[in-house]
Structure 1
Amino acid sequence: MIGLGALFVACWSSGFIGAKLGAADAPVTTVLMWRFVPLALLLAPWLVRSGAGGRAGLGRQILVGALSQSGYLLTVYCAIGLGVNTGTTALIDGVQPLVVAALAGPLLGVAVSGRQWAGLGVGAAGVALVTWSDATSGHGTPLWAYLVPFAGMCCLVAATFLDRRTRDRPSPVRAVAIHCTTSAVVFTALAVATGTALPPASARFWLAMAWLIVFATFGGYGLYWLLLDRVGVTAVNTLMFLVPAATTIWGTLMFGEPFSAWTGTGLALALAATWLVSRRPQSRERAVSAARGAPPCHRTGVAGVRRGRRFDGGSA
């Protein structure tokens, strides 16, 4: 799982870099259309296979895809196009574990420990510090632009909970096929409506599309849903705290984006939050959990039972 987690972080962060590469040669709608049309064609065999949940399940997965891909990516690409740094965009999206943790109890029946809340609070401080540093750096990005990636993060959170509350979910491959087809339809419609469907002929644009398809979609997005099934929602969203550091390093090396002392401090706080949230409970904590009749969670530190199912990646 450690190897898959590291690969997920690298691939997810690559999506922010690919977005900036593609946006250098074409409008956001063009980039997104030509990212997902080839994907929909490649994944068509899995789309036509019968899956769990019937028509209701298919409709639910279409909604999940519209939120987790269409809504999320449109806001991320727009934020980067408005001038928000790739690392800052990734870190604002890193608020996701805070929102998930706050809603996990009422929506999924998952308990979050005090240690985890402390870690999530540290992560929020890191996000605020880096965002403030970027917003006041004087590079001309309007302040409201920093709310755009926050809206995208909310879309991904909503999709995650909608998927977790579904009893009969399709396989990760079929789910990705449904989501990519949904996004292909949405972004093609947007590109045609805005007159931006024609792609540029530059080699850099098509290199960016290949980058986004292979690394960001198959690697990042595919691993997101695979890891959700295997290790649970808390563990996966904790990995999101590592994405901003990877993205910031990529952005600094590839695009010369500024890396200030405030940026480093904020990222250090985010990494500290990851350690606090994801580390295994101490033996005394395990003993207390056992005395209360709660199973120790060796993967996520969260013991949650709802309707006979655990939400840390296994079954009760």
Structure 2
Amino acid sequence: MTDPARSATTARHHPMLWPVLATLLIIGWSSGFVGIRYASQEASVMLLLFWRTLISGIILLPFALAIGPRIQLDALKGQALFGIMSVFLYLGGFALAIEQKVPTGLVALIADLLPLAIAALSHPVLGERLSARQWQGTAIAVAGVLIVSLDSLSFGTAPAWAYGLTIASMIIFAGASVVYRRRKTPHMPVHQSLCIHMLTGSVLFGLCAWTQGSLVPPISSKFAIGMAWLVLIATYLAYAVYYTSLRLFPAAKVSAAIYLSPPVTMLWAWILFSEPLTLTMLTGLALTLIGVWMTSQD
């Protein structure tokens, strides 16, 4: 794991590093909506996740084998575990909840409370204490997310375990993020760890999709566009920047940027799909920006 003192030095010497990484993270994290919007019209969620992770992992595989240290078995096992937690259980849990008719707006809201869970875990696990100002920023950011999500919230008629699944999936990813930050295994370049995470997820998603039917992808332009977007932006950009940021900055600071995912997703929808942009949404966006700025201050 990157030494905290070294990380702090890096951040001090490069004052624009965090703003650039945070911007890329927000773009990548929120863009998943676009790819899913295109691809899910042509395939089930599990089939979509199978091809997303498989393509992502296969493209990275030759680079993972040729560039960087030789991957040891212990490191492979450790990264595969992270893949199960941060890819299969996180993405798959939300996908299953949606299939069980948990309203999408509620699932999105619970997913976007991830930074709050990471902030809560950071102190007892990592010893990274948030200041009073940062906790105030967290509260403001959560309020902004709630305002943005207000119009799409409903409780639906899904079984009780499906609602619990959404919360469990979010907490699992928060735990994986904190453990990734704390881990004491030898350093592994992001392209190698991400390759292992994606291929691990693809095996498990493939088994789930296979039980539902064929693994053959639909041949259509919408599926191809959606898959390209999911692989290049929602996977490579989002996950690579997220893992890189976790090595350099406190986990709560990194995850705080994700609070901006709902309002930025709203902007994606407005620009690409002409979905309505209301004053309430803009108010939530402004409030979230203020909260994230306060939380990001050291």
Q: Which TM-score applies when normalising by structure 2?
A: 0.81
Indicate the SS of the match to 1:19.
Answer: helix
Change in Cα spacing, 1:147 to 1:123, as seen in structure 2 (3 Å) is farther
Aligned counterpart in structure 2 of residue 210 of structure 1, from 221, 228, 244: 228
Aligned counterpart in structure 2 of residue 3 of structure 1, from 1, 20, 24: 20
Aligned residue for 1:291?
A: none
Offset, 1:90: 4.8
Aligned residue for 1:162?
A: 179
Indicate the SS of the match to 2:188.
Answer: coil
Q: Distance in 2 between matches of 1:251 and 1:76?
A: 20
Asked whether the 8 Å contact 2:64–2:192 carries over to 1, the reply is yes
Change in Cα spacing, 1:92 to 1:127, as seen in structure 2 (3 Å) is farther
Change in Cα spacing, 1:101 to 1:162, as seen in structure 2 (3 Å) is same
Indicate the SS of the match to 2:31.
Answer: helix
Offset, 1:104: 1.0
Q: Are 2:122 and 1:109 equivalent residues in the alignment?
A: no
Q: Distance in 2 between matches of 1:250 and 1:256?
A: 9
Moved more, 44-53 or 3-12: 44-53
Moved more, 221-230 or 174-183: 221-230
Aligned residue for 2:40?
A: 23
Highest Rg: 1 or 2? 1
Aligned residue for 2:290?
A: 272
Offset, 1:94: 2.6
Offset, 1:148: 5.6
What letter corresponds to residue 175 of structure 2 in structure 1? Answer: A
Change in Cα spacing, 1:149 to 1:231, as seen in structure 2 (3 Å) is same
Asked whether the 8 Å contact 1:18–1:211 carries over to 2, the reply is yes
How many percent of aligned residue pairs carry the same amino acid?
Answer: 32
Offset, 1:117: 1.0
Q: Distance in 1 between matches of 2:103 and 2:290?
A: 24
Q: Are 2:240 and 1:222 equivalent residues in the alignment?
A: yes
Q: Are 2:132 and 1:134 equivalent residues in the alignment?
A: no
Asked whether the 8 Å contact 2:114–2:174 carries over to 1, the reply is yes
Aligned residue for 1:121?
A: 139
Aligned residue for 1:55?
A: 73
Q: Distance in 2 between matches of 1:100 and 1:178?
A: 23
What letter corresponds to residue 59 of structure 1 in structure 2? Answer: K
Structure 1 gap segments, 5+ residues each = 280-300, 302-316
Aligned counterpart in structure 2 of residue 12 of structure 1, from 21, 29, 45: 29
Offset, 1:28: 0.5
Q: Are 2:255 and 1:237 equivalent residues in the alignment?
A: yes
Aligned residue for 1:295?
A: none
Offset, 1:235: 2.5
Q: Distance in 2 between matches of 1:5 and 1:266?
A: 19
Offset, 1:175: 0.7
Higher relative contact order (CA 8 A, sep 6+): 2
Change in Cα spacing, 1:30 to 1:150, as seen in structure 2 (3 Å) is same
Offset, 1:181: 0.9
Aligned residue for 1:250?
A: 268
Q: Are 2:186 and 1:183 equivalent residues in the alignment?
A: no
Offset, 1:71: 1.8
Aligned residue for 2:86?
A: 68
What letter corresponds to residue 31 of structure 2 in structure 1? Answer: S
Change in Cα spacing, 1:142 to 1:259, as seen in structure 2 (3 Å) is farther
Q: Distance in 1 between matches of 2:227 and 2:173?
A: 22
What letter corresponds to residue 177 of structure 1 in structure 2? Answer: C
Cα distance per residue 1:244-263 (max 9 Å; x no partner)? 22111112333454544443
Change in Cα spacing, 1:4 to 1:105, as seen in structure 2 (3 Å) is closer
Change in Cα spacing, 1:165 to 1:4, as seen in structure 2 (3 Å) is closer
Q: Distance in 1 between matches of 2:157 and 2:239?
A: 29
Q: Are 2:58 and 1:41 equivalent residues in the alignment?
A: yes
Indicate the SS of the match to 1:25.
Answer: coil
Q: Distance in 1 between matches of 2:176 and 2:94?
A: 16
Change in Cα spacing, 1:141 to 1:244, as seen in structure 2 (3 Å) is same
Q: Which TM-score applies when normalising by structure 1?
A: 0.77
- Say which structure is richer in helix: 2
Aligned residue for 2:12?
A: none
1:84-99 → structure 2 map (5 Å cutoff): 84=103, 90-99=108-117
Offset, 1:68: 1.0
Give the CA RMSD over aligned residues.
2.7
Change in Cα spacing, 1:141 to 1:253, as seen in structure 2 (3 Å) is farther
Change in Cα spacing, 1:30 to 1:69, as seen in structure 2 (3 Å) is same
